[in-house]
A and B are shown apart, each in its own frame.
Chain A
Amino acid sequence: MGKLLYLRFRSMGKLYFVVPLALWGLLPLLCWLSYQQVKGMAGGLVEAAGYLEQMGALFAVWWPCLSLKEEVEGAGSELLFVHMGQRGRRTACDFSTLIWYLFHLWALGGSLLVADGGFLVHLVKTSAQIVFMWGLCYFLIAVLRSTSIPLMISVGYGIAGQMLEEPAKSQWTIFGTAYQVNWELVEHKYLWVLGIGAAFCALGRLLIQRWRK
């Protein structure tokens, strides 16, 4: 199974590196700039938490779309379905992109945010948002049998959500202002976000399994 997952990532070619470049290149750069601007560790960390949310949620949909591209739009997709769909490998293969992405986030977020021990809450919140975005995209791929349209819808939702002003942003989207984040909010809002994201994942999985029947 390890080899299968490795080859699946490798089949993305150069486009695989969009996520590592964004997370490990662009995001730390933005955080460093914000530290320079606010000239204070605590303020800088909150800004960094904001960037982590924005970019973390946005790029979460890149790998699932790429990894499923061959199966949805590739010539010979039915061959992959014969081998993947009916033999229980799909779950591990599909969800590997989410798990691998979360590993990136936790490693990066850990080094950016948890350094002072007080920003774990942001990491938990962003993880829930990522599961939601990933699940939404996966569900849309399953429904629309396309990868480009779900990618655009998910990215559109991510950008539009970030552009809304408070309180509409917190009220109607999965996003929020980093300054307002605390464990109580995570408990009341982001557990739901996580649950809905997980439900999207499960539904997407179920629908993809029924393709071509």
Chain B
Amino acid sequence: MIKLDGVKKSFGKKTVLKGIDGELGEGVYGLLGPNGSGKTTLMRCMVGLYRLQGGVIAYDGLDLAKHSEVLNRVGYLPQKFGLFKELKAYNMLEYFATLKNIPKDRQREAIEKSAEVVNLSDRLHDRVGSFSGGMIRRMGIAQAILGDPQVILLDEPTAGLDPEERMRFKNIISSIRREKTILISTHIVEDVEALCDHILVMKEGLIAYSGRDSGLREWARDKVFWVCENANLPAASYVEKRSEEGDGVRLRVLSSAPVEGGEPAEPTVEDGYMTIIKEV
């Protein structure tokens, strides 16, 4: 169990986290938010990279600031990952296994297990430098799950991946999710919808929403419409999608005010997210 209690972080005069509260138990959590909302800062605070200006982050009741050893139970994949290109994949994972204090006699087993999960077993003896971007990302996930940590924090794990690699990533998460707390930070709503039991939406350094995807959809209830392309749209409306149907073209619009001639549509998680972010 991770407990965040009034987590605050500033850089100079800019306050990035303004008091984050929350509890993360078992399950997959999606941390959604636009660029600059504080997702990465929160992740970094959760692995002790930043000293907090206020609040507490506790793992199973142990304050991270006082008990850095709790990080032995945490696997972390940062936004950028691409280390040790000169090492073979096995040696790189061995490096992290040693850093994570995995006993020597268990390292081989742990490395082979995590390589298998990310489908890199046959590339373990190749140089990391010869890997594609997607494979390096998978190596990152492999090091994060090395030693079977209880908590896994993944910062933008699908950024820059092609659809096939994203699909593979979803399979990996599905295969490791049992009895773990997994927090995935992203701005790709589709990934969160496909993977997460619980969604957190961050906006301007605060948690603007915390709950299930159905709850997030409800935020956009009666705010989504299908309209003709040439319809007059209210000022504060956002076109989400364009669809060609028969002779005409229809637009999917998010708007707090009713749209003239608009046909109400079933809201999606993305609609709910946009409603919060754009304050529709």
Contact = CB atoms under 8 A, between A and B. Distances in A.
A76 B87 CA distance: 15
B86 A13 contact: yes
Contact of B95 (A7, A13, A76, A213): A7
Contact of A83 (B81, B94, B96): B96
A16 B140 CA distance: 25
Interface in B71-91: 71, 76-78, 80-87, 91
A118 B69 CA distance: 51
A84 B99 contact: yes
A83 B77 CA distance: 12
A81 B82 CA distance: 14
A12 B85 CA distance: 9
A132 B224 CA distance: 68
A21 interface: no
Interface residues of B, number: 30
Nearest to B74: A82
A76 B82 contact: yes
A172 to B, nearest CB: 39
Which of the four size classes fits the interface of chain A?
20 to 34
Contacts of A87: 68-69, 71, 99
Given A3-B94, A70-B83, A86-B68, A212 B50 contact: yes
Contacts of A86: 48, 68, 71
A212 B94 CA distance: 25
B47 interface: yes
A212 B9 CA distance: 13
Contacts, number: 75
B78 A79 contact: yes
A11 B82 CA distance: 13
Nearest to B47: A82
Given A4-B95, A4-B98, A12-B86, A75 B81 contact: yes
Central interface residue in B48, B95, B104, by most chain A CB within 10 Å: B95
B82 A82 contact: no
A14 B87 CA distance: 11
B87 A78 contact: no
B49 interface: yes
Contacts of B99: 4, 80, 83-84, 87, 89
Nearest to B94: A7
Nearest to B43: A78
Contact of A78 (B44, B82, B95, B96): B44
A75 B83 contact: yes
B81 A7 contact: no
A11 B48 CA distance: 25
A76 B80 CA distance: 5
Given A10-B91, A70-B83, A70-B84, A3 B104 contact: yes
Interface of A: 3-4, 7-8, 10-14, 70, 74-84, 86-87, 89, 212-213
21 contacts: A3-B98, A4-B98, A7-B91, A7-B95, A10-B87, A11-B87, A13-B86, A70-B83, A74-B83, A76-B78, A76-B80, A76-B81, A76-B82, A78-B44, A79-B143, A80-B83, A80-B99, A82-B49, A83-B96, A83-B100, A87-B69
6 smallest A-B Cβ distances: which pairs? A13-B86, A75-B82, A83-B99, A76-B81, A75-B80, A7-B95
Given A75-B83, A86-B71, A213-B51, 12 more contacts: A7-B87, A7-B91, A12-B86, A13-B86, A74-B82, A75-B80, A79-B76, A80-B99, A81-B49, A82-B49, A87-B69, A212-B49
